[in-house]
Structure 1
Amino acid sequence: MKFAVLGQLLVSGPSGEPVTLRGHNLSTLLAVLLFHAGEPVPVDRLVDALWDGSPPSSYLSNLHTYLARLKKRLPDTEIDTIGRSYRLHAGPDELDLLRFHEHASAARKAMRGGDPATAAALFRQALALWRGRPLADLSVLSLEPVIVELTEKRMTLLEDLMDCELATGRHDTLVAELRGLVSEHPLRERLRIQLMTALHRAGRAAEALDVYRDARAVLVDELGIEPGAALRKAHTKLLRGSDPGATTPVESPTTAIVRPGQLPPRVADFHGRADELRVVGELVRTGQSTAPVVVISGEPGVGKSALAVLAAHTVRDAFPDGQLFAQLGGGSASPRDPADVLGEFLRALGMASSAIPDQLGDRAAALRTRLADRRVLVVLDDAAEPEQVRPLLPGTVGCATLVTSRSRLSGLAGVHPLPLAPMDQQDAVGLLATMLGAARVAAEPAAATRIVAACGGLPLALRVAGTRLALRSGSRLDALAERLEIEQERLDELAVSDLNVRASLESSYHSLTPLTTNAFGLLGLLGAVDVAEWVIGVLAGTADADKVVEELLEASLLQQVGTDATGEPRYRLHDLLRVYARERMEAETEADDLVAARDRLFTAYLGIADAASAGLQLMLAHPPADQAPDHGLPDRVVRRLIADPVAWFDAERLNLLALVRTARAAQPRDAVRLGHRLVQFLWMRGYWNEVHELQQAALDHARATADELAAAKAECLLATLEFTKGEHDGVEDTYVRNCTVFERFGDSVSLAYALGDYANLLATTGRLEEALACLQRAEGLVGDTMAKTTLASYVVVVLTLLGRFEQAAAVGARTLEQSRRFGAPRPLALLQLFLARLHLVGGRLAEARAASAEAERLLDDVGDQAEARCSVLRVRALAEAAVGNRAVARGLFQRGLTLAERLGIPALQAVAARDLAACRLGEGDLDWAVPTLRATAATFRATGDDDQLAIASRLLAVAGEDEAGRLDHVPGDVVEAAALRVLLELAAPATPAGETSRSGGKGLLV
């Protein structure tokens, strides 16, 4: 395909047919990629070009859509991905901009080689490509600097062309062309000199003097300035009768060509980083239309300098005019002055010391002049800030710059960022093996892995560890690993000779502002966890956490490790930085300030958890009796965080548990308070072990403080947990005993919860009338509330089990309407589940499928992944199987089994595995189905669950494997009787199409 940007944007196909791009955004995207053809263009630069710095929230999705459309419109053009960048491949024969640069470079080379005729021809070829202002039909703000530079380059080429033509003696024919150019560009003094030269050589000296007088008048009138030195000098020559265009044939001492080779030697035992080396190589080799700048950033000791030096050696062949190197000292107390570095560079490029300008700006201009039209690689190691780097950058195509810095150097425009992470375990162990010998590391692989973990994959730390081991060839790796695993001594161990991890970290730490220094130290309190930005703000005691986080990120002292379910970025300290942060905190933070920071953090978490737990709408756990403190954060922030309360708890679960455990010894009451808010979420997600831990701790605290009511609540919830997991022993006594406690204290809400849980136990053990009485009593205690709808849902189940189907349906319909009025997804989900069971029993299969599907959707809304979802998946699977959707049913049974295994509830696992075995039996997979049925039958026999045992036995009888499986053995539970009928149909061989149904929509009860 052919592309043209030197004028209106034009695209044509292989046969020359025009290709139309629909929409401004698609044209803009192509234009940016074309102006950087062959080079990776970062996503941020593309986004800035498309939306002028104000992208929509869905900008990444939109960008991917535009790229997909562009690729579809340009099928013969390769657009590939490099990290977070995109690159369009095009050569000079495809893109006029590249041909322009190619012809211009060749012309200048001919010009320097003393061949003005060839140079002039090449200049005219380059200029002939120009159809007008680049991208004349588009407005791309981010490309304006490039277009301005390109336009200036065209003017310089025109002037170079005129010099070449004058050198070939074409002064007579050039006069008219030069008059036109001067008229079009009256302020270009070089064109005036060239016109004066052409006129003088043509014997028209008087006209040449008129050109000067006209130039002076224009400059004075329009700009209020006198002509420049070059134009005045040409005028003086004319007055003396000399040629104004004559030059001195002796070359200036500032123009000698020198090819510097300043790269330091590569690290001899460098290991790994293959992907990073490849990316750096691709980025710096692709300077066809710009001078690429690659910034390798990362925390102290991550190996930035070693990577940059090796990468520079790897790409030397692409920079035949030399390589410049400077150590900028950004990590030291006195970073180098860029003016001094420029002086060194200019001397290395052959400029005499006496000719080097004094001012920084003049030196930077001199460097750009020396590097013009040359291919030189500049390596700047350990840069401090953008202001130190900017003057050192080449300005012309063909050169490239490789920068390393602890800072991201975000202020440098148009760079290719390459954040460098610590080594992964494989490369880190490989580095140790390179230093110590493969045999020594292979002899103690576990110890090598422990050393890598203690060093956090940081190359500097690994080099220290490797050096220490290399100096003691007889020492064992596990001895050093053991010492490194003592956090308080780790940084002391990681020092040898001039290699010192602590010293490397200190330079970055001391560059922070006081507020950020304090926040960094306090982050050491938290341990190896990731946190949201608001946590860092709370620790630091500031409402402006953004600035603190940005400074830590910029200094590579904080890592962003992803985004949590609420959309908040998550941050953490590298393990060695965390150890160092704790050192600084213990050394520099007053005890009172430390206590205050801990209190702020605990209070904030407790307040947010209180607000989030109120949105869970879970009616199983008893509510806390105390009032949570004010979280101390802006309400808008908290509203954003808990817009999805389940997502917030998902993101913060480990941190909340760590806070509870930390507070348990010194502040047991606060630990219980926070645990109360967390337990509802843990129940919903099925984290049974953690629920048990928190409730046992609450019970222990209640007994220690003689708080009988709190002890009763904790005991009841523990009993419900044991019952849910299939353990019945002692549960009934716990409910009965503590219901008496709730009555005595007048706590009607807790009594209602306990009665509801007790009723569930009674129903499970077949005492249905007692269960119904319990539920009806509980309903009278809670009034017209969401809790009442939950209790009414259980009434539907019990009425169904009693065979009172019409009454169950009436209660269900009434309760469904009440639940919708409260707008509570989880109670609604439970009710839909119970109604789905009722429909299944009555043979209303369409209604059963709809109700069970709606129940799962509602559980999705609240993120419930506990036992209720297992029940919903099972009823959905039974309903789908009953109408012949065998494959759908099999998938649902499998999902139910996977969830039951995660929850670790043996009874749920046995039911789910048994149901899936019925499917596998019908598919002929007896090798899996029969052993599974035998194992589940044994589980049901051990737990005394006769209904589930009856189903397993009947299925074994179908397989001809169990003589105890009598065909007349039907469960007493009407829902399980319905399930048996469906599972027997599933266990029958499937039709060739893979589906079978014999129920025909009739009632499922035999």
Structure 2
Amino acid sequence: MSTTPPSFAELLRHHRRAAQLTLEQLAGASGVSIRALSDMERGRSAGPQHRTVVALADALALSEDDREQLIDLARSGRLRDHWTRPTGLCELPRSVDDFTGRAAELAWADDVMHAGDAPGAAGVALITGAAGLGKTTLAVHTAHVLRPSFPDGLFFVDLYGMSPRPLTADDALMQLLRALGTTERHLPHDTLERASVHRSLLRERRVLLVLDNAGSEEQIRPLLPAGGQSRALVTSRRLLAGLEGVHRLSLGPLPLVEAAELLTGILARRGSSDGGSAVGELAEFCGGLPLALRIVGNRLVSRPGWRAAEFADRLADEERRLDQLRAGDLKVATAFGMSYKQLAASTQRVFRRLALVPGRDFDATLAAVAGGASMEGMWEALDELVDLGLLQDSRSGRYRFHDLVRLFARDRLHAEERSSERDALTVTVTSWLLRMATVAGRWFDPAYGRPDPPDADLSSSEEADHWLRVNVDNWLGALRAAAGGGRQADVLDCAESMDWFSDRWMHAPHWHEVFTLGSEAAAALDDPARQARQLNLLAWVHLVPRDDLETTLRYTAQALELATRSDATAQVASAHHNAAGALRRLGRPDEAIAAETRAAELFKAVGDIDTYGQCLGSLGSCLRDSGRHSEALEQYLGLWALVNDDRSGVTSSVAAFIRPIALARIGECLALLGHHSEAIATLTEAITLMEEGQLPVPQAASLQTLAALLGEEGRTGESRHAYARAAEVYQAVGDIEAADRCRKLASAAP
């Protein structure tokens, strides 16, 4: 009569007892956990991994025959488990055929998935980002690529994190345990026990879990592997900052090149070629958002008669863009809407009102003005918006919308707030920005002295300078809105406040627009004297940053006529001063000297010693360019004496501005007169003062002059260094042509 062969569980228990070992003792000797041993002896784990069985056989000191029998039973159990495991549970979705780009992200995921064993959740890759960025697509594609590395299975669970009823951790565990082969009879009833069994099974196998659309740390934490060869790839719109020990990837939009490549791949199914420029436009309108790109591609593929260029024309209209980004059940607005619904009501209000900010980015202070919230409440709202990917933040403390998210916020604003509320909020934001810009600009105007801003802590000219630069899109947008709304007095005040600051940032591209709006506002207010001032500033724009000398002379002629008619002596003088600069560079030195001399006389007569000093410097330049180098040097030395005389009447801030420039001109004249050593020392001192005073444009020009002098003196290494520094400064101020020229001179020096 034959006897039934023992099961793996029975044989393991027999050998343990024969060795007179407790579960704890065998666990300690083999390195296999007590929980895993208990599951094996109870038959819940009938086919443990080969390395586990070998470790147990070694710990039990089994004979060769007993060892082979135990290993054979485990192998049979694994085969039996494989063929009886429920199929089709948690099956991985298909990967799209036209997956494009994301090379760096795929390499990152591969590195994490193949990293060595480590305790805790070291084998967990978390991909976060806003709606529509393709997190799920990336995770699924990665899993398919990595399939050979995970022979025990790839499992996918949608956690519905943005749904009103997300999948609970308990339900997710039940799905995964069934997929891993646990029968209903052996499913623990308690969530903690299910999590423990789940971790035990993962530790014994090489499995990849794709946990998609996680909504919270509590939902995801029980599902993660805890050591061993199994890995987890998690996606979430939330940052899930509470998860410890995970590898994080913040997914951004596709670069424009990859976006166009993805769209081209989708459109290949149309069987007709679409113009590259139209595809590029479509990709740009989609902002690198894969969901939007796929919608655009699908709409064009499903309508062969449409031309890509015509669809691009539709998307060009911001008012209709979100409506056009829909194809069947795919809608960009719906994806954003799911995130929007997760927000608290107060944060929803902040989100939609931030659409009123005119620029591309903003800080928390401006957000509080637009959102109508306290700073404390604003920090909470901004954190919530960043956490859900509805805002992007940066290390500089500034925030910005993705272009399509901004359109969604604007749609919500129009849908959920009355027009009277929107108009009032627009006025509030615009007024605050114009007031801030005007106050900041006056920090540099010697006529105002030290401002006392009521709404922000701009305690120094450095802070005012920084605010104006980083918020230029915002205050310029406010200036346009105020001009369009007929608020001409506010526009003119702001434009006038930029007079002296524009010297510090002369190559910024927006001064023509600022002073044009100022001139139009002054004309609307029927104030010819103030209009003349704005026309003189426009003349300066074309004289210095734009180098359009004939246009400079046209503006000075208009300014001179208005200023003379209104007895605005200072503006008559400014017109002569700007005209002199253009005439000098047009090679008309006698006319330039006459105009500059007249300007200096007029400024001195009205007591404007600050601008009088500038005229002396310009007169020196006229003399220098005429070849009258000794007279020019005498003129610059007189200016140097003026700005260093405490009793001269020159404002200290203006003196600090003119001093290094005057010193540089003295150095240039010394060089022209053949005093090279003295010139080099003087220019070096001037460049140091310019760097301390943050005057990059004259600093770059002086560095270039110094470099040439050093080269003439045979000091080649110093010359190269000066040219390289000049290139860096030119690059920083946006003068790319001059930067390239200096780089070539640096490399060409012998």
TM-score scaled by structure 2?
A: 0.76
Q: How does 1:859-874 map to 2 (within 5 A)?
A: 859-864=690-695, 866=697, 868=698, 872-873=702-703
Q: Secondary structure at the match of 1:366?
A: helix
Does 2:385 correspond to 1:552?
yes
Q: Secondary structure at the match of 1:369?
A: helix
Which of the residues 431, 436, 458 maps onto 1:603?
431
Aligned to 1:643: 462
Offset, 1:643: 3.4
Q: Secondary structure at the match of 2:471?
A: helix
Closer/same/farther in 2, CA of residues 648 and 256 from structure 1, 3 Å limit: farther
Aligned to 2:44: none
Retained in 1: the 8 A contact 2:354–2:371?
Answer: no
Does 2:496 correspond to 1:671?
no
Aligned to 1:660: 479
Aligned to 1:180: none
Q: Secondary structure at the match of 1:383?
A: coil
Which region of structure 1 is more displaced relative to structure 2, 312-321 or 505-514?
312-321
Structure 1 CA distance for aligned equivalents of residues 28 and 583 of structure 2:
96
Which of the residues 102, 118, 125 maps onto 1:289?
118
Offset, 1:706: 1.4
Closer/same/farther in 2, CA of residues 904 and 678 from structure 1, 3 Å limit: same
Does 2:150 correspond to 1:323?
no
Structure 2 CA distance for aligned equivalents of residues 552 and 870 of structure 1:
42
Which of the residues 258, 269, 275 maps onto 1:444?
275
Closer/same/farther in 2, CA of residues 281 and 895 from structure 1, 3 Å limit: closer
Closer/same/farther in 2, CA of residues 737 and 426 from structure 1, 3 Å limit: closer
Closer/same/farther in 2, CA of residues 112 and 674 from structure 1, 3 Å limit: farther
Aligned to 1:835: 666
Structure 2 CA distance for aligned equivalents of residues 735 and 682 of structure 1:
19
Residues 728-752 of structure 1, C-alpha deviation per residue, up to 9 Å, x if partnerless? Answer: 746775676566578x57x87x677
Offset, 1:287: 4.3
Aligned to 2:532: 712
Q: Secondary structure at the match of 2:536?
A: helix
Aligned to 1:817: 644
Retained in 2: the 8 A contact 1:870–1:900?
Answer: yes
Which of the residues 282, 290, 299 maps onto 1:459?
290
Retained in 2: the 8 A contact 1:528–1:573?
Answer: no
Q: Secondary structure at the match of 1:380?
A: strand
The amino acid across from 1:445 in the alignment is G
The amino acid across from 1:309 in the alignment is V
Offset, 1:827: 1.6
Structure 1 CA distance for aligned equivalents of residues 125 and 508 of structure 2:
50
Offset, 1:426: 3.5
The amino acid across from 1:504 in the alignment is A
The amino acid across from 2:390 in the alignment is L
Q: Secondary structure at the match of 1:442?
A: coil
Which of the residues 569, 574, 593 maps onto 2:421?
593
Structure 2 CA distance for aligned equivalents of residues 818 and 372 of structure 1:
82
- RMSD in angstroms over aligned alpha carbons? 4.8
Aligned to 2:600: 775
Which of the residues 519, 524, 528 maps onto 1:699?
519
Aligned to 2:406: 578
Q: Secondary structure at the match of 1:765?
A: helix
Offset, 1:758: 6.9
Closer/same/farther in 2, CA of residues 363 and 613 from structure 1, 3 Å limit: same
Does 2:329 correspond to 1:495?
no
Does 2:171 correspond to 1:340?
yes
Offset, 1:836: 1.4
Structure 2 CA distance for aligned equivalents of residues 716 and 428 of structure 1:
46
Retained in 2: the 8 A contact 1:613–1:645?
Answer: yes
Offset, 1:404: 0.9
Closer/same/farther in 2, CA of residues 858 and 597 from structure 1, 3 Å limit: farther
Residues 634-679 of structure 1, C-alpha deviation per residue, up to 9 Å, x if partnerless? Answer: x2xx459x73544443333333323222321112332333333445
Offset, 1:772: 4.9
Offset, 1:374: 2.8
Closer/same/farther in 2, CA of residues 660 and 740 from structure 1, 3 Å limit: same
The amino acid across from 1:437 in the alignment is A
The amino acid across from 1:703 in the alignment is A
Offset, 1:854: 3.3
Offset, 1:306: 1.7
Closer/same/farther in 2, CA of residues 754 and 852 from structure 1, 3 Å limit: farther
Structure 2 CA distance for aligned equivalents of residues 347 and 870 of structure 1:
70
Offset, 1:459: 2.1
Give the structure, 1 or 2, with the largest relative contact order (CA under 8 Å, sep 6 or more).
2
Structure 2 CA distance for aligned equivalents of residues 808 and 882 of structure 1:
26
The amino acid across from 1:656 in the alignment is W
Retained in 2: the 8 A contact 1:672–1:694?
Answer: no
Does 2:342 correspond to 1:511?
yes
Closer/same/farther in 2, CA of residues 609 and 857 from structure 1, 3 Å limit: farther
Retained in 1: the 8 A contact 2:579–2:592?
Answer: no
Structure 2 CA distance for aligned equivalents of residues 846 and 111 of structure 1:
94
TM-score scaled by structure 1?
A: 0.58
Which region of structure 1 is more displaced relative to structure 2, 896-905 or 754-763?
896-905
Aligned to 2:361: 530
Closer/same/farther in 2, CA of residues 446 and 363 from structure 1, 3 Å limit: same
Closer/same/farther in 2, CA of residues 288 and 722 from structure 1, 3 Å limit: closer
Which of the residues 510, 520, 534 maps onto 1:690?
510
Residues 594-629 of structure 1, C-alpha deviation per residue, up to 9 Å, x if partnerless? Answer: 234323332332343234334557x8xxx799x999
The amino acid across from 2:521 in the alignment is H
Q: How does 1:261-410 map to 2 (within 5 A)?
A: 262-272=90-100, 273-290=102-119, 291=121, 292-410=123-241
Closer/same/farther in 2, CA of residues 457 and 761 from structure 1, 3 Å limit: closer
Q: Secondary structure at the match of 1:294?
A: strand
Closer/same/farther in 2, CA of residues 268 and 897 from structure 1, 3 Å limit: closer
Aligned to 2:5: none
Aligned to 1:876: 706
Q: Secondary structure at the match of 2:671?
A: helix
Q: Which runs of 5+ in 2 are unaligned?
A: 1-8, 33-53, 64-72
Offset, 1:161: 9.5
Offset, 1:538: 2.3
Offset, 1:510: 0.9
Closer/same/farther in 2, CA of residues 830 and 398 from structure 1, 3 Å limit: same
Offset, 1:439: 7.2
The amino acid across from 1:549 in the alignment is L
The amino acid across from 2:107 in the alignment is R
The amino acid across from 2:386 in the alignment is L
Retained in 1: the 8 A contact 2:488–2:522?
Answer: no
Closer/same/farther in 2, CA of residues 683 and 398 from structure 1, 3 Å limit: same
Offset, 1:381: 0.9
Q: How does 1:204-223 map to 2 (within 5 A)?
A: none
Structure 1 CA distance for aligned equivalents of residues 96 and 578 of structure 2:
70
The amino acid across from 2:492 in the alignment is V
Q: Which runs of 5+ in 1 are unaligned?
A: 1-107, 128-159, 170-248, 924-992, 995-1006
Aligned to 2:43: none
Q: Secondary structure at the match of 1:643?
A: helix
The amino acid across from 1:331 in the alignment is M
Offset, 1:328: 0.7
Structure 2 CA distance for aligned equivalents of residues 479 and 777 of structure 1:
60
Aligned to 1:477: 308
Q: Secondary structure at the match of 2:313?
A: helix
Aligned to 2:67: none
The amino acid across from 2:423 in the alignment is V
Residues 559-579 of structure 1, C-alpha deviation per residue, up to 9 Å, x if partnerless? Answer: 24x55xxxx244322222122
The amino acid across from 2:517 in the alignment is A
The amino acid across from 1:580 in the alignment is F
The amino acid across from 1:373 in the alignment is E
